[in-house]
Amino acid sequence: MFLPDLLKGKRILITGGGTGLGKSMGKRFVELGAELVICGRRQQVLEETAWELMAGAPGPVSWQVCDIRDAAAVEAMIDRIWAARPLDALVNNAAGNFIARSETLSPRAVDAVLGIVLHGSAYCTLACGRRWLAEGRKANVLSIVTTYAWTGSAYVVPSAMAKAGVLALTRSLAVEWGPRGIRLNAIAPGPFPTQGAWERLVPRADLAKEFESRNVLGRVGDHRELADLATFLVSDRSGYITGEVVTIDGGEWLKGAGQFNFLDRLTDDEWEAMRPKKG
Ligand code: HXC
Ligand code: NAP
């Protein structure tokens, strides 16, 4: 299904598209014909990524410096983007996160994460949605959440709260806007190594190994695997999917959830000894 012109004619904004998973999704979208806009707070990062994705030649990638916590700045950015040409899809990818014992969190620390993830995603979604509805344009929103949006997680509580909210936004608007041609879906990734996540969330080398391998498949995700899933979900090929969250985590959260999953530690001899004896 990943034909070279799969996303031809589609104009897509990826928030936080200058780094990490946002950059990897952007690279794949451009390969498949999309016109890409990336945004973030750091101009130099955006500029370097845009040139890298265009392989050093002018092309279909542009950037907007924007702090998505600021609703007025988001409106102004979306106005500038629309002035050139309307978007066909929005990827809510920008995030902020860190680990902390929750009792030590200051109000500003809570706000820092909720502001980026929950409010920023809402501002971007509403700014685009309003325009799409007014124009009667078919479009879609893809939000990058996490599996702890529904399981919750210790030590990343503001992020868990915010991602749960983004999932609620996805499901709510899928129903409200679906009849008017707008689909909203989400992806819940497991561990995909990025500098932004690893330097904030993985405090020790021995814990990194555990974080990277304690899933059914025993490995981290490859950025290309996530980029291909995102491509499918923003493309017209997923036209009958809305309000859905697709997990791509090597079975990580299910492995943590099943009551008897810990029995993977039993030896072959122990399993054999438990089998009923014949005769
Ligand atoms: C406790 C912390 C803290 C920490 C910051 N704060 N880091 N508190 N522990 N480690 C507090 C500060 O003390 C301050 O509160 C408040 O948070 C705001 O901090 P600033 O540094 O002023 O904020 P800002 O410059 O806006 O930066 C926001 C940020 C930062 C979220 C703190 O990390 C950031 O810019 N992140 C963007 C990229 C990112 O996080 N990428 C990772 C996404 S990975 P006080 O009260 O002291 O003023 C991800 C993966 C999920 O989401 C799932 C993985 C499997
Ligand atoms: P990352 O590289 O740190 O990406 C975060 C991006 O968000 C950065 O480009 C950052 O750019 C941008 N950003 C942060 N605050 C912003 C703001 N206020 N306004 C605009 N842009 C802002 O981390 P990542 O690992 O690729 O994460 C990408 C997404 O995947 C996030 O939603 C994350 O929660 C999700 N995720 C990642 C993993 C993983 O294993 N990596 C797992 C589950 C979910 P600036 O700093 O320049 O603004």
Write the pLDDT tens digit of every residue in 210-242. Answer: 999 999 999 999 999 999 999 999 999 999 999
Dist. CA 249–CA 221, nearest whole Å:
7
Dist. CA 11–CA 1, nearest whole Å:
19
Q: Do 16 and 22 form a contact (C-beta atoms < 8 A)?
A: yes
The mean pLDDT value of the chain amounts to 96
Q: Is the pLDDT of residue 205 over 70?
A: yes
Q: What percent of the chain has pLDDT over 70?
A: 99
Q: Mutate which of 24, 66, 97 to test ligand 1's pocket (most atoms within 8 Å of Cβ)?
A: 97
Q: Is the pLDDT of residue 41 over 80?
A: yes
Residue 56: band (very low, low, confident or very high) from pLDDT cuts 50, 70, 90: low
67 lines ligand 2 (CB under 6 A): yes
Q: Locate the ligand 1 atom nearest the alpha carbon of residue 117 and give its number.
A: 52
Q: 85-94, 147-156, 157-166, 270-279: which has the minimum mean pLDDT?
A: 270-279
Which of 123, 148, 155, 240 is flagged as catalytic? 148
11-274: CATH architecture? 3-Layer(aba) Sandwich (3.40)
- The residues, any chain, with a CB within 8 Å of residue 118's CB and separated by 6 or more, are 161, 162, 165, 166
Residue 16: band (very low, low, confident or very high) from pLDDT cuts 50, 70, 90: very high
Q: Ligand 2: distance of its center to the CA of 260 in Å?
A: 34
111 lines ligand 2 (CB under 6 A): no
What separation in angstroms does the CA of 253 have from each of 32, 182, 221?
31, 29, 14
Dist. CA 223–CA 259, nearest whole Å:
30
Q: What percent of the chain has pLDDT over 90?
A: 96
Q: How far is C-alpha 98 from the chain's CA centre?
A: 16
What residues are in contact with ligand 1 under a 6 Å CB criterion?
95-98, 100, 106, 108-109, 112-113, 146, 159, 191, 196-197, 200-201
Mean per-residue pLDDT, 82-88: 98
Q: Locate the ligand 1 atom nearest the alpha carbon of residue 97 and give its number.
A: 40
For the chain, give every domain's residue range: 11-274
Dist. CA 245–CA 97, nearest whole Å:
21
Q: Is the pLDDT of residue 279 over 90?
A: no
Q: Is the pLDDT of residue 58 over 80?
A: no
Dist. CA 176–CA 160, nearest whole Å:
24
Q: Whose atoms come closest to the Cα of 160: which ligand?
A: 1
Reference 142, options 96, 94, 180, 98; nearest CA is 94
Sheet with strand 139-144: strands edge to edge: 61-65, 35-40, 11-15, 89-92, 139-144, 182-189, 245-248
Dist. CA 26–CA 8, nearest whole Å:
14
Reference 121, options 169, 75, 192, 164; nearest CA is 169
Q: Mutate which of 15, 104, 108, 192 to test ligand 1's pocket (most atoms within 8 Å of Cβ)?
A: 108
Tokens of 138: 């078919």
**Quick one: pLDDT at residue 189?**
98
Mean per-residue pLDDT, 178-184: 98
- The residues, any chain, with a CB within 8 Å of residue 108's CB and separated by 6 or more, are none
Rounded CA Rg of the chain: 20
Residue 148 appears among annotated catalytic residues: yes
Write the pLDDT tens digit of every residue in 253-263. Answer: 999 999 999 99
At 189, phi and psi to the nearest 5?
-80, 150
**Quick one: pLDDT at residue 59?**
75
146 lines ligand 2 (CB under 6 A): yes
Q: Is the pLDDT of residue 57 over 70?
A: no
227 lines ligand 2 (CB under 6 A): no
Q: Is 198 exposed, middle or buried (0-12, 13-18, 19+ CB in 10 A)?
A: middle
Dist. CA 258–CA 247, nearest whole Å:
16
Mean per-residue pLDDT, 16-40: 97
Q: Is the pLDDT of residue 48 over 90?
A: yes
Q: Ligand 1: distance of its center to the CA of 112 in Å?
A: 6
